[in-house]
Amino acid sequence: MTVPAKPVFLSDAFFAEATCRNCGAALHGPHCAQCGQKKAGRIGAGSVRSEIWEKLRLFELDQLQSALRLVAGPGKVARDYVFGVRKRHTHPLKLLLLAIAVLLVVLAQTRYLNSANVQVSKVMETVRKYAEWSFSLGLVAIWCASMAGFRKRLGYNAVEHLVLALYAHFVIILANIANQLPLLVLRTPAWLAWHKQWSGWYMGAIEPAIVLIALSQFFVVDLRRQWWRLVLAGVVFVAAKKLLVYAYAWLLVKFVLARAAT
């Protein structure tokens, strides 16, 4: 089934119809006889919890296929998903957890958080133990940007905004993994120092660009009339992420210093 290209107000009645939202065939039971997908319901907090437990398995081919689709259209995949096209796409949280695990492995291999100073390296080892939590900050920033710029648009609820944030953040994590890959080959101290100095600048532009593309696809934005919504969302994303990162860093420093004093 193709999700309507034009903006469509999403409501509970959309999912009440006896139609498979994955392939468009008529439903005569809880599962589609054509593609096998379970009858899609609207995404809410309860459905998110149940789908996590149902789909949290090891790496599968469909995850790679979903990742490739997301690189080209994170907002389109998220829109498909909330409109009921579930069988074709991997659960967003499952993909995000996998991407974070890969990024942590890559960071460990590149020794990006290491230091020539032994004492500093010991501190960074403690920081690494809590690094998984820091990767959720961008997710919160995307959700805030989506809600700020498009909260009342097309009838999406807060959890459906979160689906977009999860998929968009997955693509951002992929971009960060790609940014680290050259360090697996070029391991000289000079190259590592150059990378640390400049990667923050271009990644600081790439990440908001991914968010804006995802938002424009998810909400089918008319740039001529609704450009201001994207500008607002972009400003909120950058500001929220900086604020969250600074707050997290402050709390982490306090925690590390407290542990060092004991």
pTM for the predicted model, two decimal places: 0.78
Distance CA 208, CA 212 (A): 6
Q: Can you list the alpha helix ranges (DSSP code H) found in 112-157? A: 118-129, 131-134, 137-150
Assign 152 to helix, strand or coil.
coil
Phi, psi of 34 (to 5 degrees): -85, -50
Distance CA 30, CA 39 (A): 5
Given a contact cutoff of 8 angstroms between Cβ atoms, the answer to whether 135 and 176 are in contact is no
> Using one digit for the tens of pLDDT, what is the confidence trace for 169-224?
999 999 999 988 888 887 777 877 787 788 888 999 999 999 999 999 999 999 99
DSSP state of 17: S
Tell me the torsion sign for CA atoms 170, 203, 101, 184. positive
* 155: number of Cβ within 10 Å: 13
Give the contacts of 77 (CB within 8 A, at least 6 positions apart): 66, 69, 70, 89, 167
> Using one digit for the tens of pLDDT, what is the confidence trace for 131-179?
556 678 899 999 999 999 998 788 899 999 999 999 999 999 999 999 8
> Using one digit for the tens of pLDDT, what is the confidence trace for 48-88?
555 655 555 444 556 677 788 899 899 999 999 999 988 88
Tell me the torsion sign for CA atoms 254, 140, 77, 25. positive
